[in-house]
Chain A
Amino acid sequence: MSTLSRSTINELAEHLENAELQAHDVKKITDDYPDMDWEDAYDIQWEIRRRKEARGNRVVGLKMGLTSYAKMKQMGVENPVYAFLVDYFNVPDAGTVKVSELIHPKVEAEIAIITNKELKGPGCSVADVLAATESVLPAVEVIDSRYENFRFDLKSVIADNASSARFVTGGNVKRADQVDMKTLGVVMEINGKVVTTGAGAAVLGHPAASVAMLANMLAERGEVIPAGTFIMTGGITEAIAVKAGDSVCVRYQDLGTVSMTFV
């Protein structure tokens, strides 16, 4: 049940989207609306999505956030969060990311999939996801919370489109039956130094479990994951802060590399 009025939802959506577009931080919204619930939070996110689409931006994919058990336990929740990706978030591989357009960016290594069948919850399973996976590809997400000092609670972060800002995908694509997403390793390097490593299982035990959860969460709003959807499954590594001048390269087992430079 929602607790916020439609006009408040619209105001908060505008407030948060402006923070993103103008690259300035804001106080977390639950400070002023402590009683807002999950549905309110997603209503705000969906309103931001509507605003972008009305302006001509195209939704190019979905993403999952907060997908590590450790993080969920820390935040006292049982579910991760989802968000959407629009066209201008995408930066080509080996491209540049302008820090002037962002507030306090961090990078995370992820595994992404592209589906070839509709996925519909409730009851969507890992097997359903694997059967609907056209390809597996490497992706790096640049997250940028619009909240001061990256300090937020779960409802605030959902409303803020789960800190989505930019993403880069690599071109070394595999079929689902050619890789073991659970043990697939990633190595993140910044300016040539290894800063963190991980493997696919860091994402809910298996990245496909994250997509199944996405389908089941969307079902609560009567939504599905259409065939042909690009989905970033969640951070394998912790998010690492970056600044202008940093060059990031993530090496993937069996999926090549993804790189970008922050300017």
Chain B
Amino acid sequence: MRIAIIVFPGSNCDVDLFEALHSVCNTDAQYVSYREKSLADFDAVMIPGGFSYGDYLRCGAIARFSNIMPEVVKFARAGKPVLGICNGFQILTEAGLLPGALKKNNNLKFICKTAALTVENNATLFTKQYHSKEKIYLPIAHADGSYYAEKNVLSQLEDQQQVVFRYADENPNGSLNNIAGIINERGNVLGMMPHPERAVESLLGNVDGLRVFKSLLEGKVRTKEASR
């Protein structure tokens, strides 16, 4: 599987994502500049965390206008897998690929710590290796992670099992319905504030994020075998 990692000016978790995919999962991952205009050679697209354009306007609000974004939208509309992590999630909401918005944390501060999560939906491309309602721990590192959406949107997300990850134990940022990650209706675009790419090696004390990538990668392998 060939995965594009989109790099915007100010992205800074691109290396972490690359290492998780390349060094840990042994996958073909490529950095793709925000200036590029094609994603033709790729099987999946991932948008890393960081501070695209310094987050000087609303997080992700400038990045969505870059060259590559119409391609990402096209890629998503074609049903191919797209994963946005942290700033990537914010960009996906700004681009309209996911509903709602990420507001400033309710304590108005950047928070970097390990958050307890519940896997709410393990029937997605990105979560099939987790158990349903499994409790996992992933790092969060953001200042704007408080998920907000209109009431009707929230109830639709809940009704259609589009909430994939929910904060357990405590809600660190004020997200509505304790939402930490959501998927689109079609089930191919996942956005999440926690950082699975930071939790893929036992040396760093946590491997709970590894199965986000394994679910996607090994899922693909299985389809190939099935089609043979």
A binds B: no
